[in-house]
Every structure is written in C-alpha cells, then in structure tokens.
Chain A
Amino acid sequence: MNGLSVSDLTVVRGSGAGPPAIGPISLSAEPGKAVGIVGETGAGKTLTLRALMGLLPAGFQLGGSVHLGNDEHVYRTEEELRRQLGRAIGVVLQNPFTAFDPLKSVGSQIVEGVVRRRLTSRSAARARAVELLEQMGFTHADDVMRLFPSQLSGGMAQRIAIAMALMPHPAVLLADEPTSALDATLRLGVLELICRFTAATGAVLVIISHDLRLIGRFCDTIVVMYGGRVVEAGPAKELLEHPRHPYTRALIACTPTIGARGKQPLASIPGSPPSLFQSEHRCRFAPRCPLVEDACWLEEPPLVPLSGVRVACPVVSREAVHR
C-alpha cells in the first residue's frame, strides 16, 4: 500500500504496567492526503508525533507499527523509524528557528541533510533548494540562500524550514503546530503552501494542531485526541458537521468563529484535562462528560465505526442505534 498506514501505535512509559500513555492509534492516508491530529495541551499530540519520528524521550517505548510510502518495509522499532528521518519522513516544527543553526547560511543548511545522507550531489541539491524556495514564494531564492537565520522573519524562516523538510522528497511530512508561532495573517498562506506541496508530490501530510478551525480547513481526515486516546476520527467534513463524541462537540462549541452570532459567550468545558499517565482503565473524558454513565468508569471505550466516522463513546453509539 502507498501512503501512510499506522497500526495500533502505542507509547508506554516505563515497565508498561497499566494502560498505555498514548494509543492505540490506527490511521491510514493515501498519498497526497492530509491528516490533522487535533487536541489540547496534554492530549498526547507531541508524544504521538515523536513516536512517528522514532524520537521518543528516554523511558518510553513504542508499540505497534508504521508503514511509510511505497516502501515494503513495516517499521516496528524506534531505530527503524529514526533512520527514515530526513529520508522518507520530513519534519516541520512549531518554532522555525529551532530548525536552523544560527551560524550557518540558509543555503548550506538546506542542502546539508540530503548531501550528508548521499541522496544527491551538492550541486543537484542546491538546484533543488533554489527551486523549492522559489515555489515557497521567494522571488530571489539565490539571495535567500546566502542569508543567515538572524536575518529572517518568522514567516520566511518557516517557509525555508518547510523547503528544507521537503528536500529529500519525503513520503510523509510531519508538521507540529507549523503555524502557531506565526502572525495570524501568515498562517493560512503558509499552511496553504504546505498542503499544495504535499498534494502535488504525493506526500502524506500529518499536521498536529490545537486549532480545529485551521485543521478543518486543510485536512481530509481529522483525528481528535483527548488524554492520549483517539476519541473520534473520520473525514473532516463529516466530523465537523456532525460531531458525535461529547468532547468533539464541546471542543467545537468553545472554538470562536466569525459569524452572525455577535457578542455571545462561548460554551466552555468544566474541569481540567487529565494526565496521560493513569493506572485505571476508564474513559479519559468521563470526569468532564455530560453523558457519563456508570460503565464509563469501568473500562476504556473502544473506537467503533459509527456512520462514516469512528467514535470511542458507547453512550453515543447506543443512542445512534436506538434512534
């Protein structure tokens, strides 16, 4: 299969007793498609991304498997995944300046990765870098190559970081909050660039964000995470127009949108988010859930199909059947 396929990915801390911190997460995307992983602080987005990069912090273990691009190999260990960084996996981080060495020119940094991995010659890499920068909207790409990171604005730096991540023709581009460090007026433009590129080159784009508005606008599939679990996943339009899981509904209700509603108070979710590390098996959203039942405290609800999406809420699934 082409594209990206993740099966039962889990992240376990320490000895692995009790429920995993993250997962199980299963998702698949065809080449050129975009997956958005949405969640608030502490939902486990970044750990998930680090698992996909093979860069889990010490003391954490990866479970499950990842299948990348048209590669036959199924990646089961961190080392195997990590070896694909800068080859089949490209990464764009939140703060573009963390992607650069402040003492080297932009040009030398863009080509460094592919040249070191002997994927291409230096001159071919430079030519590709200039081409990518032009496509990223720089009219004088040659001049940009000579700049140093301190001479870049945030929007320029992020566009260059994207070009850098795209250098090796990755099968998967992982983007961790790629626009939240940017000025609001630049966000759409930069995301648009990322999406257009991955769509054109057939790379799968995985965007991690807390911003449901942006994700909804640019992704084909949305995965909503809460407390390390996937609570709802499915096609973006369906999920946003008919959210099923009580957390997804609450998240949409508290997201401000421009509309005819005027100066109205937003709905908010009472309570605070859970820790990723819990020993009990129960629904992570139960303490804040308006639909909570006794059974919710006794076991973790599995993700089950429900009219086009997958939802981890037995209450919602049961009511849908009865209706």
Chain B
Amino acid sequence: MSERGQAVAVELVDVTRVYHSSRTVVRALDGVSFSLRAGETLAVIGESGSGKSTLTRLIAGLERPTTGRVTVAGQTPRIRPGTVATAQVVFQDPAGSLNPHRSILKSVGEPLRKLDRAQRRATVVEMLGRVGIDPARISDRPWRFSGGQLQRVAIARALVARSRVLLCDEPTSALDVSVQAQILGLLRDLQQEIGFSCIFVTHDLAVAQVVADHVLVLRHGQVREAADAERFFSGPKDPYSRALLEAMASAPLDGRLQRGDNGNGHTVERISAT
C-alpha cells in the first residue's frame, strides 16, 4: 500500500482486542493489520459482530488494543480532556450525535475552544458553508434540520478542527438514497479539497464501491480480505467475501429474479456456513 510514498495516516499492527465477560472471552479483533495512506479511503465491510465497531473505537482512541499497536498520524490515539482527537467520528444516527439543547454553532464550534468567539464563529460559518448548510441557521437547534442536513452538520463538526482522519460509521444507512447520494458526494468533494483520510464502515457493498480506494473485509474479528477496491469488486479472492458480494449486492436494477429461484434462497445459509 505504500508504493506511492505518501505518508501513512492510520496503521494497525497485529491488533487484538479481547473483551472479558463473566463467563466468556470474546476476541473482538484478532490480529488485524493494515495501513492507510493520507488522503485515501478504506471501506471496512462486515456483518454485525465482525469487529467493525471495535476497530472504529480503537482508531478513535476510545479504547486501547489488548496487544498490538494502533497509530494515527504517527501517534497513539488518545482521548484527553481539552484536546481534539486526530481521528473524528461521524456516526450513523446524526440526531443522536448532536446535543439537542445546543445550537449547531455551539456543537460545531466545540473543538475550537482555543479560539476566541469571533474566530470560532467565523470558522464554523465557513465550515457550514462548505458542507452546504446555510450559515444563517447557525443558531438553530438540531430538531429544525432534516436527517441529511444533520449529517452535514456532523461532518462539519468532525472536520472543523482540521482533523486528518475521518471515521465514518455507517454514515448514510439511516438516510434516503437521494440524500445518501448527496452525502457521499459531499464527502468525496471535501476529501479532494481538504485531503483527509477516511475509514468508512459499512455493510453496504454498493456504497463501499462508490467511496473506497481500498477494502477490508472483517469476519469474527479477523481480516478475511484486504485489497484495492478495483480488484476487490472485479472479483474477491476470499470465498466469504465472494458470498457477501453475492448476497448483498448482486442482481441490481435489472428486474426481479424468478421467485423461489435458488440463486436467492441460499444466500443466508451459505454465508453462515462459510
């Protein structure tokens, strides 16, 4: 991945994260390694329980790996009071990720506490303009915005402090397709403009294809396949990845298959049997 000689933005080396509950031990991540260069997008794909969320939390600095090493922009990610984390997260539910009692000026300006009020306001106005929110609405509370607009606000907040890494956890799966297209387009434009790296967690392979330079398929905490997006979508090597691709995405907009067709019916069983 490092042929082009760009700086590595995110690197995981043999990362394992183990959770202990009263009786069981869960290896949420098991020996995961990858690196992502600055300005590129990695789509992390997996079913529920594959370790996607744990991966996000480790890179965001919300958790530490049990063994192995996580590096974000050359440093170990840590959440410390009064500082802004290098990797910022955009969550699935934008309404739940903004304080309902605060104006969006306050929410988006939160990472800029070191600036004075006028500077902070100017920076927030500029950032909101970039994500397509009318800066005149800066004093509005979140309930006045639609889901797509709130996701724009959440993206503005994540990027306002010039974060180098954006962690998107299913950022469009709660949105309508036309709004999803707008948000994906916005992320793409902003990435070209600002040049942040993006880790895009999704279960939707069609969305992954729109955004990703690289693809990482996780299953039960282990990497099943890591590949360039182009190569991955033209034919995944791993049998599980292939089953995922077939189950989630095939037979797109070209009319229905015959009912009871085995081409459909076996998908669930086949995946659980892999």
Contact = CB atoms under 8 A, between A and B. Distances in A.
B177 A183 contact: no
A67 B234 CA distance: 48
Contacts of B179: 40
Interface in B132-160: 146-148
Contacts of B254: 216, 237, 240-241
Nearest to A43: B176
Interface in B189-232: 203-207, 209-213, 229-230
Nearest to B269: A189
A195 B259 contact: yes
Given A217-B256, A256-B209, A40 B204 contact: no
B181 A267 contact: yes
A186 B248 CA distance: 9
Q: Which of B182, B204, B255 has the most CB of A within 10 A?
A: B255
Contact of A257 (B176, B245, B252): B252
Interface string A227-243: 00000000011001100
B203 A216 contact: no
B184 interface: yes
Contacts of B239: none
Contacts of A264: 210
B209 A251 contact: no
Nearest to B188: A265
A177 to B, nearest CB: 12
A258 B265 contact: no
Nearest to B245: A258
Contacts of B47: 183-185
Interface string A41-72: 10000000000000000000000000000000
A220 B178 contact: no
A185 B260 CA distance: 18
Nearest to B41: A263
Interface string A214-231: 001111100000000000
Contacts of A262: 209, 229-230, 233
Interface string A263-274: 111111100100
Interface in A247-286: 250-252, 254-269, 272
A287 B47 CA distance: 39
A320 to B, nearest CB: 21
A321 B148 CA distance: 38
Contacts of B230: 262-263
Interface string B32-76: 000000000000000110000000000000000000000000000
B182 A268 contact: yes
Q: How large is the interface on B (under 10, 10 to 19, 20 to 34, 35 or more residues)?
A: 35 or more
A188 B267 contact: yes
Interface stretch (A105-113, A125-133, A205-213): A205-213
B253 A185 contact: no
B271 interface: yes
A192 interface: yes
Interface residues of A, number: 45
Contact of A185 (B209, B248, B256): B248
B249 to A, nearest CB: 4
Contacts, number: 139
Contacts of B176: 40-41, 210
A199 B259 contact: yes
B192 to A, nearest CB: 10
A104 interface: no
A240 B248 CA distance: 19
A212 B176 CA distance: 11
Contacts of A251: 177-178
A196 interface: yes
Contacts of A212: 177, 253
B185 interface: yes
Contacts of A268: 178, 181-182, 185
A40 B147 CA distance: 12
Nearest to A238: B255
B233 to A, nearest CB: 6
Nearest to B186: A268
Contacts of B245: 258
Given A184-B47, A211-B177, A251-B178, A263 B210 contact: yes
B124 interface: no
Contact of B210 (A199, A256, A260): A256
Contacts of A220: 256
B88 to A, nearest CB: 23
Contact of A217 (B146, B181, B251): B251
A107 B210 CA distance: 44
Contacts of A40: 176-179
Contact of A240 (B210, B253, B265): B253
B207 A256 contact: yes
Given A192-B264, A192-B267, 9 more contacts: A183-B48, A184-B204, A196-B259, A217-B264, A256-B177, A256-B207, A257-B252, A258-B206, A263-B212
Interface of A: 40-41, 183-186, 188-189, 192, 195-196, 199, 210-213, 216-220, 236-237, 240-241, 250-252, 254-269, 272
Interface of B: 47-48, 146-148, 176-182, 184-185, 188, 203-207, 209-213, 229-230, 233-234, 244-245, 247-257, 259-260, 264-265, 267-269, 271
Q: Which are the 6 A-B pairs with shortest beta-carbon distances?
A: A189-B268, A237-B255, A254-B181, A257-B252, A256-B206, A40-B176
